[in-house]
Chain A
Amino acid sequence: MIKAILIFNNHGKPRLIRFYQYFLNMQLQIKHLCTNKMAEDMQQQIIRETFHLVSKRDDNVCNFLEGGSLIGGSDYKLIYRHYATLYFVFCVDSSESELGILDLIQVFVETLDKCFENVCELDLIFHMDKVHYILQEVVMGGMVLETNMNEIVAQVELQNRMEKSEGGLSGAPARAVSAVKNMNLPEIPRNINIGDINIKVPSLSPF
């Protein structure tokens, strides 16, 4: 099982968080004592702790480490990849294959690259919802749903098409306005370089 998927940038700013298990503070394990606010705080703490653990590692060390104290410690593993400005971290338990998950991250990022056409951090920042929809086609409820990139992209596109067809008239003015607003968007270099990702991928035959 995958327990959580976190994407944050080099400064620890979350870009996507997806918890498949509800993590609670160990001292407040009784659920009804935990308010929603505490649960949110816990998630933020986990992000901070994970960032702290991952960010201090060099790029040439291995991509596995034991989970932080907040997420189950050594029962869980953090498996991550670092692309340009972003960290993709998967927190998994012992039933997942480490190299398999590394490959899955690769599949996910390549899918993002296809869907956003040359993905960069800005895409993730402004389209968090879309990233979620893509992720939902890869992992569901903490279990791997699909590893075939073409299949994933096809499903995502079919759904986007449906959304567009529904948008129709009522959606048009909003889109026009948003297009005007987007014109002021500062040009920020798109700097995720997918090209050199492959260097560290173990030679896995494609799924």
Chain B
Amino acid sequence: MALKIVKGSIDRMFDKNLQDLVRGIRNHKEDEAKYISTCIDEIKQELKQDNIAVKANAVCKLTYLQMLGYDVSWAAFNIVEVMSSSKFTYKRIGYLAASQCFHEGTDVIMLTTNQIRKDLSSPNQYDTGVALTGLSCFVTPDLARDLANDIMTLMSHTKPYIRKKAVLIMYKVFLKYPESLRPAFPRLKEKLEDPDPGVQSAAVNVICELARRNPKNYLSLAPLFFKLMTSSTNNWVLIKIIKLFGALTPLEPRLGKKLIEPLTNLIHSTSAMSLLYECVNTVIAVLISLSSGMPNHSASIQLCVQKLRILIEDSDQNLKYLGLLAMSKILKTHPKSVQSHKDLILQCLDDKDESIRLRALDLLYGMVSKKNLMEIVKKLMLHVDKAEGTTYRDELLTKIIDICSQSNYQYITNFEWYISILVELTRLEGTRHGHLIASQMLDVAIRVKAIRGFAVAQMATLLDNAHLLTGNTQRNGICEVLYAAAWICGEFSEHLEDPMQTLEAMLRPKVATLPGHIQAVYVQNAAKLFATVLQKHEGETDSQAAQETSQLLIDRLPLFVQSANLEVQERASCILQLVKYIQKLQQKNVEVAEEVTALFAGELNPVAPKAQKKVPIPEGLDLDAWINEPPSESESEDEKPKVVFAKEEPKHYRSRHTEVDEKELARRREVRKQEQANNPFYIKASPSSQKVYDAPGVEHIPVVQIDLSVPLKVPGMPMSDQYLKLEEERRQKEKAERKKKEKKKKREKRGKGRKADSGPESEEDITPAHQVDIVTEEMPENALPSDDDDKDPNDPHKALDIDLDKPLADSEKLPVRTHRPEVLKSPAEDRDSKSVPQETKKKSSKEKKEKKKDKEKDRKQIKPTVHWFPVQKSSKHKKKKQKKEKEEKEKKKKKRHHHHHHHGDAGGEDSVQNGTVEEEEPLPPMSNYSLLAENSYIKMVYDIQGNHQDESKVVVSVIFENKSDSFLKSMEFNVLDSLNSKLQRPEGAGPHDGLTVPFQLPPGVSNEARFVFSVQSIVMPQKLKGTLTFIVKSDESSTHEKLDFKLHFTCTSYLITTPCYSDAYAKLLESGDLKGSSLRLEGINMPFHHLLARICFHHHFSVVERIDSCASMYSRSIQGHHVCLLVKTSDQTVSIDAKCDEPSLLGNVLDEIKQTFSKC
């Protein structure tokens, strides 16, 4: 044996360790992948060895390879093995590897529960620490549920090192298992006042994370945090608290008022920039929440802006960046105080740091007003020209468009100017945002009716000069603009001065090089233009010109008919045929213009982005119903071939009779109109939509005539600048006029006191240059306004929106392991003993609180507190006596402090019975696991539990323990099903196939597997025969072994512990539906509470009430049978009277109880 160890360690000397691996990789730069793959092979060999040190070394190397991007999940099981090593060195390696590559989908995680639990309770604080750290990275909902209670215990560990880790990890547990939040919260709160600053900081950290997502639940902690803020000197904690206050103030403005003073003091006093910055941020949040401008608040806002200005002017780029960031928050509510620093912000646009420029751009977005929009955009246009690097320029471009289009073009007074800006932007080389410009052009042209004439003229120019945009292949992004241009020219062609020229431009051969979707729009809109041209010429009775137009189309369209793009091809061929037909008619001198224009009549309106989603489903429409009954299979098989021949005839018949007489047509049209009128989905151009557009108050906006001839052709200057000048002049003029008027007024009112000159013009004074009839987007009628589209249903924090002030209810306990064969502690007992220090500390305040709450408390809420002491009154008297009980309870509580170290009583999962703990001795260890089968290799013990969710399923938990020195693998668990009970096998498995046990067993290791059985009748106990087969693998040989067993389904195993309130219990007994039976046990020599605990634990009952030596108990079967027991004892004789709605079930349960007690 000793020789083996020596040999092992000598072998190991030549294994690569992590450093060797790294060195090797660095020496094989050329064939790194090949080298690593040989290394992985080596690692695989090492992992197969029994020596844990070798395995740990291999896992350590895998962690490195994981960083390089290699998938190492195949070694997950080996990682678990290394984690479970008893040596800290290896354990740490294992946990590190696990934290790097385990995640929720890793299936071996479920094997780790017991190991982690063991490590958490290890006497070595670093074992615990390593387990906590690892767990924080891969905690799953299952792990969180199973370990929550263990971690909560650690929160009161003696070592601050463990406490602070336990506190931090609770946040992860809450996220994965929200039910744990309420039970754990009191202790978390307690940790805010922990003597160790690290633990305190951790608690603040966790609560801040929680409160950030659901602030309203944490408002009650505000006073505590306020105290911390004024007393703490730890900047890290201060920053977190101040950030938290920032989240709380919007909900409670009074808090904000209280905060302003200490925060401003901090701002003045602190030297730490990080703290200063967070203070400013929170003051801003406070000021935002206090909407009313109180006088001293304007001082605080000034202080903030002033401090921020210092930050922005600082040479440290980080401070500059943050200053701008905070400034943008002030901007939302106090734009005026920021606007005075416009110079500073424009200056930041020239900064060499792109992030700072972007932040400055964000600020500009909020700083624009009607007055300065043109000026700011002009500056930005200059930057666009100067900007190097397309990303920043693209960012500028989007920002310009954002700034101009914000809140429905609120700040644009002159849309001609805006269109010119857009046209100028099309000159940008290599931008990706052609589609953005295009959509703006479309939006403006459609929604601002007054601008259409101007827009069409501009677009026509664009189309004419399309070669400038498309000439360079690199400018592809920008050609999207042509899409908009073509559509606008086509749709609003009545505004075109020379439609013929535009038509000609749209049909140039060069167009065929544009992307397909643009060509399609070209073709379609060429047809619209054609219609306009025809109409124009018809008015002038100039048939020659009209015919020439047709000829132009007929000449050019074939190019598009040959297009590879289907859309283009289809549209082109349709239109070509149409034009040919028209040409024929023209040659016959038939007037066609009117009919052709009718093809494109009607106006297209903008539709709101979410309109489609919000169309309500009309009453009586069932979208899931079949429109036609689905044909049965046999029918379709028979009839299909026939149909092919039968349908042939009518088709021909129809095509021959295409010309239907006028009357018939008229009738059909009528019918169709009728249908459309009744069809809610048909978009009508009817009055209903019209009324949407007429935004109230639009009519009285003064309409100024546009003088097109002035601004358009000014040589040497970009067009938009002209507008700027014009606008200024216009405003001057208006101002002058207004002054005149005012003077007149003043003269009239002379007696009533004078006003000074109105000073700089205010926002409202600036009248828009022309009517801004911004058409609102269409929404379906009776669409419901709802904003629920924006919420993310997957946010894990949604589940943590839990009221934390409500007292804990009975059902809210962290799950405690119930299957382990060891001394059982009831969770309530556990919690009680832990919460003692808190109680002593804050008793007086707690008492006060409780009195306050007394009034609102309903009975349910009282319940959990009541059960601490023996229930002596029957339920009928309860209400009257409540007050008295309360006082008593307080007394008892005090008394209990002397007793809390007794780990008394408390069988099983329910707590109702822990009342009389004080005077009674502790309970011997109990286990529900009974032996299933055993041989020299393996031992199996099992327990059966009902399933809460499913009334026909029970779960059999089997613990397999390897008793041999060999490795056990390929275990297969099989049971001979009976008619009544069946093992649940995966889909596709035969009824006699065994189930593979999902793990292997190294020597001395035990593990638990669960099997689900379905049962039909639960009134009789049952035995199922089964076999376990497995392979025993030792060093030199492997043998196939088998072990038979009998699985005993007792009736007890179908019972589920269900708490029952005494009044409900009384009602149940009174109902008379239950049949009785009874049982006497002689010679029982154990304390009464042990007896009860045993019944509770082994037979899944809960105590309803206990009075001295008499107790009532309750349980429920998985199929809903009620089982009630009345247990009485008098010197060594126990009598049990039982009632149940199923006599045979009851009889069997009683037999089983009898057996339990005969064993001891």
Contacts and interface: CB of A to CB of B under 8 A. Distances in A.
A26 interface: no
B66 interface: yes
B273 A204 contact: yes
Q: Which of the listed residues A37, A40, A144 has the most CB atoms from chain B within 10 Å of its own CB?
A: A40
Nearest to B160: A151
A103 B169 contact: no
Given A166-B88, A204-B235, A128 B18 contact: yes
Interface in A85-105: 95, 97-100, 102-103
Contact of A17 (B10, B67, B70, B212): B67
B271 A95 contact: no
Contacts of A127: 18-19
B209 A39 contact: no
Interface string B13-32: 11001111011001000000
9 closest Cβ pairs, A-B complex: A141-B136, A99-B274, A62-B317, A61-B353, A36-B73, A44-B69, A62-B321, A202-B273, A177-B13
A66 B355 CA distance: 9
Interface stretch (A111-119, A129-137, A189-197): A129-137
Interface stretch (B198-206, B301-309, B938-946): B198-206
Interface in B49-104: 53, 60, 63-64, 66-71, 73, 87-89, 92-93, 96, 100-101, 103-104
Interface in A143-180: 143-148, 151, 155, 158-159, 162-163, 166-167, 170, 173-174, 176-178
B314 to A, nearest CB: 9
Given A132-B96, A162-B126, A200-B318, A141 B172 contact: yes
A60 interface: yes
B442 interface: no
8 contacts: A61-B317, A64-B355, A95-B212, A97-B277, A132-B96, A162-B89, A163-B89, A205-B271
Contact of A151 (B20, B87, B198): B198
A204 B273 CA distance: 6
B492 interface: no
A39 B76 CA distance: 15
Contact of B71 (A17, A37, A58, A141): A37
Contacts of B132: 140
B208 interface: yes
Contact of A200 (B96, B161, B316, B321): B316
Contacts of A66: 355
A163 B92 CA distance: 10
Contact of A141 (B93, B161, B168, B320): B168
Contact of B9 (A126, A143, A173, A181): A173
A40 B71 contact: yes
B319 interface: yes
B278 interface: yes
Interface of B: 5, 9-10, 12-14, 17-20, 22-23, 26, 53, 60, 63-64, 66-71, 73, 87-89, 92-93, 96, 100-101, 103-105, 126, 132-133, 136-137, 161, 164-165, 168-169, 171-172, 198, 201-202, 205-206, 208-209, 212, 234-236, 239, 243, 270-275, 277-278, 316-322, 352-356
Interface string A1-43: 1000000000000101110101000000001101011011101
Nearest to B322: A98
Interface of A: 1, 14, 16-18, 20, 22, 31-32, 34, 36-37, 39-41, 43-44, 58, 60-66, 95, 97-100, 102-103, 125-129, 132-133, 136, 140-148, 151, 155, 158-159, 162-163, 166-167, 170, 173-174, 176-178, 181-182, 185, 200, 202-205, 207
B212 A62 contact: no
A98 B316 CA distance: 14
A40 B20 contact: no
A133 B96 contact: yes
Contacts of B235: 100, 204-205, 207
Given A99-B273, A204-B273, A182 B67 contact: no
A178 B17 contact: yes
Given A22-B103, A64-B321, A144-B236, A181 B70 contact: no
B212 A14 contact: no
Contact of B63 (A31, A44, A125, A129): A129
Contacts, number: 194
A162 B130 CA distance: 13
A24 B104 CA distance: 12
A143 B239 CA distance: 14
A165 B14 CA distance: 23
Contact of B18 (A36, A60, A129, A143): A129
B408 to A, nearest CB: 24
A141 B137 contact: yes
A189 B173 CA distance: 45
Contact of A95 (B89, B96, B209, B274): B209
A33 to B, nearest CB: 10
B318 A202 contact: yes
A57 B1002 CA distance: 54
A144 B73 CA distance: 28
A129 B60 contact: yes
A144 to B, nearest CB: 6
A204 B103 contact: no
Contacts of B198: 145-146, 148, 151
B164 A99 contact: no
Given A99-B318, A144-B205, A34 B18 contact: no
Contacts of A64: 318, 321-322, 355
Given A60-B317, A173-B12, 6 more contacts: A65-B355, A95-B209, A136-B96, A174-B17, A181-B19, A205-B270
A144 B168 CA distance: 9
B862 to A, nearest CB: 37
B734 to A, nearest CB: 42
Nearest to A102: B318
Contacts of B93: 129
A140 B321 contact: no
A174 B185 CA distance: 48
A24 B19 CA distance: 31
Contacts of A14: 67-68
Contact of B105 (A31, A147, A200): A31
Contact of B89 (A22, A132, A167, A185): A167
A63 B353 CA distance: 10
Contacts of B70: 40
Contacts of B104: 22, 31
Given A146-B198, A173-B10, A202 B274 contact: yes
A58 B352 contact: yes
Given A31-B105, A143-B168, A170 B53 contact: yes
A185 B103 CA distance: 37
B165 A126 contact: no
Given A143-B168, A181-B20, A16 B67 contact: yes
Given A140-B132, A173-B9, A181-B19, A61 B63 contact: no
A127 B352 CA distance: 38
Contacts of B66: 40
Contacts of A185: 23
Contacts of A129: 18, 60, 63-64, 93, 96
A103 B274 contact: yes
A141 to B, nearest CB: 3
Contacts of B319: 202
A129 B18 CA distance: 9
B130 to A, nearest CB: 8
A133 to B, nearest CB: 7
Contact of A147 (B171, B206, B236, B316): B236
A61 B133 contact: no
Contacts of A22: 103-104
B318 to A, nearest CB: 5
A113 B13 CA distance: 30
B266 to A, nearest CB: 12
A147 B240 CA distance: 13
